[in-house]
DNA sequence: CTGAAAGCGCTAACAC
DNA sequence: GTGTTAGCGCTTTCAG
């Protein structure tokens, strides 16, 4: 491959002039510019971006840390990040961690070794304090509430949104309420569990652990949940389900077993995915696209030094009323 | 940030010795190695990978070109790619093109400018001959049949698989058969359409354009398809649907409108996604995970010069019989 | 085993 | 406006 030197020679100019043309600098005369352009054309030249990155100390790449990509929650986030990245001439490094700490550390290390300019954490396993030391190498933005930290965040108040969901059910006469979560150790999950406990306590209902389901991510997990419900002597009359996919599975399987929604079982989903509309599912929209694009902006502004300090932005959830409650 | 020179000074060795330690070369005495390691530790040093990439002419990154990520077809592919990449210490650059030619060209250019070592094309819009010239800059692997080309490929015989699906329907007495595709101009789509025409011709059925649906990707698109079907005076009795999501939407909406599956409408899906099992959907598994991991291997082997020539690998589809036919 | 030195390809003072 | 030149941080001959 040709390099800048050969272009300079062919165009009979210096390498700096070539560089100026390449970077659209002013102060290059028309004919020299033209000569350079012709040489570039003629030699089919392209910049070697590794060299550019070395000298600029910048890659124009943002790392996206997530456990797995094949879930609408994460693709929703990524769509938002991606749209904003495209506008700002940034690329995305997709880093699937499987919630494995070693993989997560590797992503952080990529920041330190300058393979990426910043990181957006869609979801993580490792504790925050292991992440924080890396914030000095570039902006890190989490899509969950991290409190005050060198790590920025865009988040929803999952405590309030979950309580809002439960209250909505209580207002409609439900007292036997269960819920389904993804992980049981994430920040978001813990806040939700707390909201659940507080809400049930306020109406003097006992917490029944058998009505709480973890590791529910996909439609087939919802099917499993419903089947477990069928085994119980006392069933909850309502379920808060932190993924529309899982809620859809529950509703599907309920239908197969002659359980009516919402009469026999009310369901509230989360995320407001297209599948929620198809299933006429009442759901809590938590603005994934918006969250992703804001996360990118925060990272970007920090890379560009438009802003120096970490930022914490709270987004509003919305309750979408349909007919599953 | 500390650099290799400072490490050398602190460890009282030359930079080449530091480099040897960094790269696990043999022939470094125990105490020098230890001194270097201590200096690295002490200065919290990390390699600057931009410099490494410049000198090696290699990034250890593969670009993944796809129109959008929020569809199980693509996430399935990406999971396969990703698993193999992880094993081989490669990173993935996620390049969403929205089927926009300019975006697609940009991905190709990243290969030329050495931002990535190779490209896996999950799906594309632009014609192959615009892509081929870029194959000299690094391996390009397409997840569709590209014939004999400098571009490698992993693919299914979509003509045969589609015909197999239609014949399966015909054997069960169907003659009024429609289908749903994603795009209408992709290679895969064209082969499928041809299979459809040939099969119907062989049983002397006319092609009815109103039974052919394009731009069907998601569950809500399936809902639309079924609604359109309801408007027709003569409806197909069976549908071949190139996405389990769309098929699920069709079945959902059929149920709401009192149409029984398969009695009133038989449905075959594609991809064998989890949702197919939940809906008891007969489907054609086209091995997305396997396709993704093989695509990575082909690219990888070529980067590593284990193999020089492009490769064309055909995968086997499988018909998964459930109860929607 | 170790070090000196020559780049990899590019950018950006700095001088003219 | 343009060219010269000193790096960016690293790897790798080549001598010893």
Are residues A195 and A275 both part of a single domain? yes
Q: Is B68 a domain residue?
A: yes
Give the model confidence (pLDDT) of B281-300 as tens digits: 999 999 999 999 999 999 99
Q: Is B198 a domain residue?
A: yes
**Contact criterion met (CB below 8 Å) for B180 and B225:** yes
Give the model confidence (pLDDT) of B88-111 as tens digits: 999 999 999 999 999 999 999 999
Q: Which two tokens stand for residue A252?
A: 């599907």
Q: Is B324 a domain residue?
A: no
The answer to whether the Cβ–Cβ distance between A76 and B70 falls below 8 Å is: yes
Smallest CA–C1' separation from A5, nucleotide: C9
pLDDT for residue A63 is more than 90: yes
Are residues A167 and A274 both part of a single domain? yes
Say which residues have a Cβ less than 8 Å from residue A63's Cβ, sequence separation at least 6: A92, A93, A95, A107, A110, A111, A115, A116, A118, A119, A120
Q: Is the CB of B5 under 7 A from strand D?
A: yes
Are residues B244 and B164 both part of a single domain? yes
Are residues B164 and B254 both part of a single domain? yes
pLDDT for residue A162 is more than 90: yes
Are residues A31 and A116 both part of a single domain? no
Closest protein CA to C1' of nucleotide D8, residue: A55
Q: Is the CB of B94 under 7 A from strand C?
A: no
User: CA-to-CA distance for A196 and B51, rounded, in angstroms?
Assistant: 52
pLDDT for residue B27 is more than 90: no
Please report, rounded to whole angstroms, the spatial distance between the CA atom of protein residue A2 and the C1' atom of nucleotide C12: 22
User: CA-to-CA distance for A4 and A10, rounded, in angstroms?
Assistant: 10
Are residues A171 and A279 both part of a single domain? yes
Query: Running DSSP on this structure, what letter comes out for residue A311?
Result: -
CB atoms near residue B283 (< 10 Å): 28
CB of B250 less than 8 A from some CB of A: no
Bases in strand C with any atom closer than 7 Å to a protein CB: 1-5, 7-13
Q: Is B306 a domain residue?
A: yes
pLDDT for residue B26 is more than 80: no
Q: Is the CB of A55 under 7 A from strand C?
A: yes
The reported pLDDT for the residue numbered B115 is 98
Give the residue carrying structure tokens 């809902």.
B223
**CATH number of B199's domain:** 3.40.50.2300
Total structural domains in chain B?
3
The reported pLDDT for the residue numbered B167 is 96
Percent pLDDT > 90 in chain B is 93
Are residues B146 and B76 both part of a single domain? yes
The reported pLDDT for the residue numbered B279 is 94
CB of A49 less than 8 A from some CB of B: yes
Query: Running DSSP on this structure, what letter comes out for residue A263?
Result: T
Please report, rounded to whole angstroms, the spatial distance between the CA atom of protein residue B51 and the C1' atom of nucleotide C3: 21
User: CA-to-CA distance for B89 and A8, rounded, in angstroms?
Assistant: 37
Q: Is the CB of A43 under 7 A from strand C?
A: no
> pLDDT category, B186, cuts 50, 70, 90?
confident
User: CA-to-CA distance for B90 and B59, rounded, in angstroms?
Assistant: 9
User: CA-to-CA distance for B251 and B266, rounded, in angstroms?
Assistant: 9
Q: Is B205 a domain residue?
A: yes
Q: Which two tokens stand for residue B34?
A: 């230890």
What is the mean pLDDT of the segment spanning A165-174?
96
The reported pLDDT for the residue numbered A25 is 84
CB of A200 less than 8 A from some CB of B: no
pLDDT for residue B30 is more than 90: no
Angle between helical axes of A187-202 and A158-171 (0-180°, round to 10): 30
pLDDT for residue B323 is more than 80: yes
pTM: 0.95
Give the model confidence (pLDDT) of A222-267 as tens digits: 999 999 999 999 999 999 999 999 999 999 999 999 999 999 999 9
pLDDT for residue A187 is more than 90: no
Q: Give counts: helices (H), strands (E), chain A.
A: 13, 12
Q: Is B322 a domain residue?
A: no
The reported pLDDT for the residue numbered A26 is 73
Q: Which two tokens stand for residue B324?
A: 């929607």
> pLDDT category, B225, cuts 50, 70, 90?
very high
Are residues B118 and B175 both part of a single domain? no
User: CA-to-CA distance for B95 and A64, rounded, in angstroms?
Assistant: 13
Q: Which of B86, B82, B84 lies closest to B94 in space, CA to CA?
A: B82
What is the mean pLDDT of the segment spanning A65-82?
96
pLDDT for residue A186 is more than 90: no
User: CA-to-CA distance for B78 and B138, rounded, in angstroms?
Assistant: 20
pLDDT, averaged across chain A = 95
Are residues B163 and B209 both part of a single domain? yes
Q: Is A177 a domain residue?
A: yes
The answer to whether the Cβ–Cβ distance between B278 and A220 falls below 8 Å is: yes
What is the mean pLDDT of the segment spanning B66-79?
96
- Closest Cα of chain B to A172: distance in Å? 26
The reported pLDDT for the residue numbered B239 is 98
The answer to whether the Cβ–Cβ distance between A79 and B69 falls below 8 Å is: yes
What is the mean pLDDT of the segment spanning A201-220?
95
**Contact criterion met (CB below 8 Å) for B82 and B91:** no
Partner residue opposite B113 with nearest CB, options A46, A103, A218:
A46
Q: How far is CA A61 from CA A49, A88, A103, A256, in A?
A: 12, 11, 18, 48
Are residues A275 and A164 both part of a single domain? yes
Q: Is B54 a domain residue?
A: no
What is the mean pLDDT of the segment spanning A200-206?
94
Give the structural domain span for B178.
158-285
User: CA-to-CA distance for A248 and A180, rounded, in angstroms?
Assistant: 12
Are residues A259 and A162 both part of a single domain? yes
Percent pLDDT > 90 in chain A is 93
**CATH number of B25's domain:** 1.10.260.40
Are residues A151 and A169 both part of a single domain? no
């Amino acid at each position: 491959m040709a390099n800048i030197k050969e272009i300079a020679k062919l165009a009979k100019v210096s390498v700096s002039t070539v560089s100026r043309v390449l970077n659209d600098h002013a102060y290059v005369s028309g004919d020299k510019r033209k000569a350079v352009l012709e040489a570039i054309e003629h030699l089919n030249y392209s910049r070697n971006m590794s060299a550019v990155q070395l000298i600029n100390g910048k890659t124009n790449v943002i790392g996206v840390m997530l456990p797995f990509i094949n879930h609408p929650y994460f693709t929703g986030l990524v769509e938002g990040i991606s749209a904003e990245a495209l506008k700002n001439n940034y690329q995305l490094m997709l880093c699937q961690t499987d919630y494995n700490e070693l993989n997560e550390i590797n992503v952080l290390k990529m920041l330190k070794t300058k393979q990426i300019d910043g990181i957006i954490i869609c979801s993580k396993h490792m504790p925050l304090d292991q992440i924080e030391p890396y914030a000095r190498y570039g902006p890190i933005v989490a899509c969950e509430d991290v409190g005050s930290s060198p790590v920025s965040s865009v988040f929803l108040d999952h405590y309030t949104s979950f309580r809002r969901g439960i209250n909505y059910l209580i207002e409609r006469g439900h007292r036997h309420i269960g819920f389904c979560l993804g992980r049981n150790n994430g920040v978001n999950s813990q806040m939700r569990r707390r909201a659940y406990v507080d809400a049930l306590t306020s109406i003097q209902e006992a917490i029944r652990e058998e009505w709480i389901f973890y590791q529910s991510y996909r439609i087939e997990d919802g099917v499993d949940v419903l089947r477990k419900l069928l085994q119980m002597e006392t069933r909850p009359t309502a379920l808060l389900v932190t993924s529309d996919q899982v809620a859809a599975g529950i509703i599907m399987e309920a239908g197969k077993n002659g359980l009516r929604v919402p009469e026999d079982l009310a369901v509230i989903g989360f995320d407001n995915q297209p599948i929620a509309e198809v299933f006429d599912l009442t759901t809590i929209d938590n603005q994934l696209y918006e969250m992703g694009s804001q996360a990118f902006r925060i990272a970007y502004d920090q890379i560009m030094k438009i802003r120096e300090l970490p930022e914490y932005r709270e987004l509003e959830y919305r309750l979408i009323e349909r007919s599953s409650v």
